[in-house]
Amino acid sequence: MRLGHYEKAIDIFKDVTRIHTFHIIAHYCISRCQLAMGDLEGARDTVSDIYDLIATNENAAKMWSEYHDLMPEITPPAQKINRKLQRFIY
């Protein structure tokens, strides 16, 4: 990833997610590669998958609680919900 080999990195991270579907860090890395390649829609979809995994998969939620600091662009689920509620209320 750091060297700009984004397609190769995506392939490697997708191998991880095939084996460990809950691996939100691998999903996050895929989204970062997609962004770097200009694939905004793909990155958006991947980030959406991360939120879905955190909400529905115990292993993903545990990974989030332990390693969320490695994914600073991903808003903690509770904060995301609170922001949606604030927009609705105000």
Q: What is the DSSP string of 28-88?
A: HHHHHHHHHTT-HHHHHHHHHHHHHHHHH-HHHHHHHHHHGGG-TTSPPHHHHHHHHHHHH
pLDDT at 76: 65
Mean pLDDT of 61-83: 77
Q: Where are the domains of the chain?
A: 6-89
Q: CA-CA distance, 57 to 38, in Å (whole number)? A: 29
Entry pTM: 0.81
Residue 63 has pLDDT above 50, yes or no: yes
Mean pLDDT (whole number) for 30-52: 95
Average model confidence (pLDDT) for the chain?
Answer: 86
In the DSSP assignment, the letter for residue 4 is: S
| pLDDT confidence of residue 28 | 96
